[in-house]
Amino acid sequence: MSVGVLGTVALDHVKTPSGIKKDMLGGSAAHFAMSARLFTDVHMVAVVGKDFPCKHLDFLKRKGIDLSSLKISSGKTFRWRGEYKKGDLNTAVTLATELGVLQTYVPELQKQQQNLSNIFLANFDPDLQLQLFKYLKSPRLIGLDSMNLWITHKRKSLRRLMKMVHLFVANDGEARALSGENNLIKAAKCLRTMGPRMIVIKKGEHGALFYSDQVMFSFPAYPVDKVVDPTGAGDTFAGGLMGYLSKANKLDDKTLRKALLYASTVASFNVEGFGMGRTASLTMREVEERMKGFVRFFALT
Amino acid sequence: MSVGVLGTVALDHVKTPSGIKKDMLGGSAAHFAMSARLFTDVHMVAVVGKDFPCKHLDFLKRKGIDLSSLKISSGKTFRWRGEYKKGDLNTAVTLATELGVLQTYVPELQKQQQNLSNIFLANFDPDLQLQLFKYLKSPRLIGLDSMNLWITHKRKSLRRLMKMVHLFVANDGEARALSGENNLIKAAKCLRTMGPRMIVIKKGEHGALFYSDQVMFSFPAYPVDKVVDPTGAGDTFAGGLMGYLSKANKLDDKTLRKALLYASTVASFNVEGFGMGRTASLTMREVEERMKGFVRFFALT
């Protein structure tokens, strides 16, 4: 089955120890889509401004992403400018954001997409994430991502939203901030009580943890020693996770473990290039090939 | 085969969010021994003062640890006082150290122990660690641990030592400090070039990474959500690692992976009690039982 994603489409200006790149296609929905497309059909729900380069639109279409619910509004595309400093490539320092068309955007889902049963609410204002529910006729699997900004300033909306979703994805810092628990196992258990029956905690270079009432498991991250730009790694991870789960159309233990492996594998490619430099050209063959080595990395024998 | 350990035997005063304990048996050699004894015979090379309680000596003997090379010197036993604060149980804050008999100690190995082929140089002054080599007639596997104090103040001796050992064990912070690399894969590769052909990086709640020219692998940590006192977890880990490798008397891929699993499993017990409260009564049956669940934790299917 296909998957829909609500999130941002941005123009990113990123500085990392490997260099500087301007006006790159970015945003949570775009990174998610570039990953999930490897597994299934992707429908993007987002907004850009009139200044959004045609080449980016063409690129997304060429990658097979359905843009029926991508709105082109008067105004400027959302811009993010950030930096990763040498020695701490896990932490993005936001230097500037220009919200542009995000300020007035209200998500809408085209009629033909309202039967989508797999939806990911990528990092976005929780009040806008809530808006999408009125369009969803038969949700089966709704995933949610958020960030510290919303955990701090829109906790009430976020907590309301958490009662409505099935899968919550957070990085370690977000999981700690939202749960108030430092120990990540305790944090996962606490997030579970907030609503979502599946919790995934991303730990960057340390891998990821899955928690549900039935099962808990964890894998290390695929070992990457050449991190160029981590922007979008979390969204790429989520794209692999939701993309594979949507394709498999199952949520049993084995499927969940495989989904987490795919998620980590695709994310490991993302960090090797600026923006979507690496994931845009990525093929399933490359993913499967890397996954073979990845599985050996934490095999018992 | 049996294993020897050079390190400290201490009286610990520890405060954690779970409480305060005074005059506990501690130190790198003691924690190592309490773990390694589960796998093989352990010979302890260390020093205590005349004030060292007889009950601790009796206890170590009862646990089957060979104390022939434990020197009882005039003066006071080494004391460590530390605290772990709520929210960061990974970091020990040292409040006080009283070196006592450590100030004048020179390690010596009894004649009947000089054929020991497996030796672990637990955290200790590198100049004293170097002293032990003159007694070793047929070393097969020498493991080394250190800490930031020596990395900063005795780097030259430590670097000399690294050329003489086979296995280097470090936590993530130490690996970064010594290599100057933030990325742990790069750090492991760099440490390899300093001499030891096997590198193990302990990542606390995130598990551990093994690196050699032939193989690299990583496991997550056993999920513990009730950390009482992490003191000695690293030494307990090293005890499981060296204890199993000494017993197995092999260093192939499969044996190394199993050794890392045992190391993590025994360490997971250590943190559940104050000092050796949990590891002192631990049996191999409990270790094997927990390891079964641990293996499921990162199984693929």
Per-residue confidence (pLDDT) for residue A153, from 0 to 100: 95
A281 touches chain B (CB under 8 A): no
Cβ contact B223–A220 (<8 Å): no
Cα distance between residue A154 and residue A126, in whole Å:
7
Q: Which residue has the tokens 């360490």?
A: B267
Reported confidence tier of residue A87, pLDDT bands at 50, 70, 90: confident
Nearest to A202 by CA among A243, A263, A123, A258: A263
Cα distance between residue A295 and residue A272, in whole Å:
19
Question: Could you tell me if B33 and B243 are in contact, meaning their C-beta atoms sit under 8 angstroms apart?
Answer: no
Query: What is the average per-residue pLDDT within B251-259?
Result: 97
Cα distance between residue B118 and residue B18, in whole Å:
36
Per-residue confidence (pLDDT) for residue B50, from 0 to 100: 97
Distance from CA of A88 to the nearest CA of B (A): 7
The minimal CB distance from A297 to the residues B216, B295, B301 is found for B216
Name the residue in chain A with its Cα closest to that of B186.
Answer: A225
Query: What is the average per-residue pLDDT within B15-32?
Result: 96
Reported confidence tier of residue A226, pLDDT bands at 50, 70, 90: confident
Nearest to B141 by CA among B207, B230, B212, B226: B212
Mean pLDDT for chain B? 96
Residues of B in contact with A299 (CB under 8 A): 217, 257
Question: Residue B95 pLDDT more than 90?
Answer: yes
Question: Residue A240 pLDDT more than 90?
Answer: yes
Cα distance between residue A159 and residue A146, in whole Å:
11
Per-residue confidence (pLDDT) for residue B90, from 0 to 100: 79
Question: Residue A11 pLDDT more than 90?
Answer: yes
A85 touches chain B (CB under 8 A): no
Question: Residue B39 pLDDT more than 90?
Answer: yes
Nearest to A79 by CA among A136, A138, A14: A14
Query: 3-state DSSP call for residue B3?
Result: strand
Q: Which residue has the tokens 């004649």?
A: B111
Question: Residue B225 pLDDT more than 90?
Answer: no
A 10 A CB-CB count for A236 gives 29
The minimal CB distance from A218 to the residues B87, B254, B297 is found for B297
Report DSSP letters for A27-67, one per residue: -HHHHHHHHHTTTS-EEEEEEEETTS-HHHHHHHHHTT-EE
What pTM was computed for the model?
A: 0.90
What does the pLDDT look like over B45-92, one tens digit per residue? 999 999 999 999 999 999 999 999 999 999 999 999 999 988 788 788
Which pairs count as long-range contacts for A123-127, CB under 8 Å and 24+ apart, including other chains? A123/A7, A123/A8, A123/A28, A123/A147, A123/A234, A123/A235, A124/A6, A124/A7, A124/A8, A124/A28, A125/A150, A125/A154, A126/A150, A126/A154, A126/A157, A126/A158, A126/A160, A126/A161, A127/A154, A127/A157
The minimal CB distance from B217 to the residues A189, A254, A298 is found for A298
Question: Residue A110 pLDDT more than 90?
Answer: yes
Cβ-Cβ pairs closer than 8 A, A with B, add up to 90
Residues of A in contact with B227 (CB under 8 A): 183
Nearest to B143 by CA among B34, B1, B2, B3: B3
Distance from CA of B180 to the nearest CA of A (A): 9
Instruction: For residue A1, give both structure tokens.
Output: 């089955």
Question: Residue B236 pLDDT more than 90?
Answer: yes
Per-residue confidence (pLDDT) for residue A141, from 0 to 100: 98
B292 touches chain A (CB under 8 A): no
Residues of A in contact with B205 (CB under 8 A): 183-184
Residues of B in contact with A257 (CB under 8 A): 299-301
Which residues fall within 8 angstroms of residue B155, CB to CB, at 6 or more apart?
B178
What b/e sequence results for B91-124 when a residue is b if at least 16 CB atoms lie within 10 Å of its CB, and e otherwise? ebeeeeeeebbbeebebebeeebeebbbbbbbbb
Per-residue confidence (pLDDT) for residue B279, from 0 to 100: 97
Cβ contact A218–B220 (<8 Å): yes
Going from the N-terminus, what domains does chain A have, and what CATH number goes with each?
3-87+94-297 (3.40.1190.20)
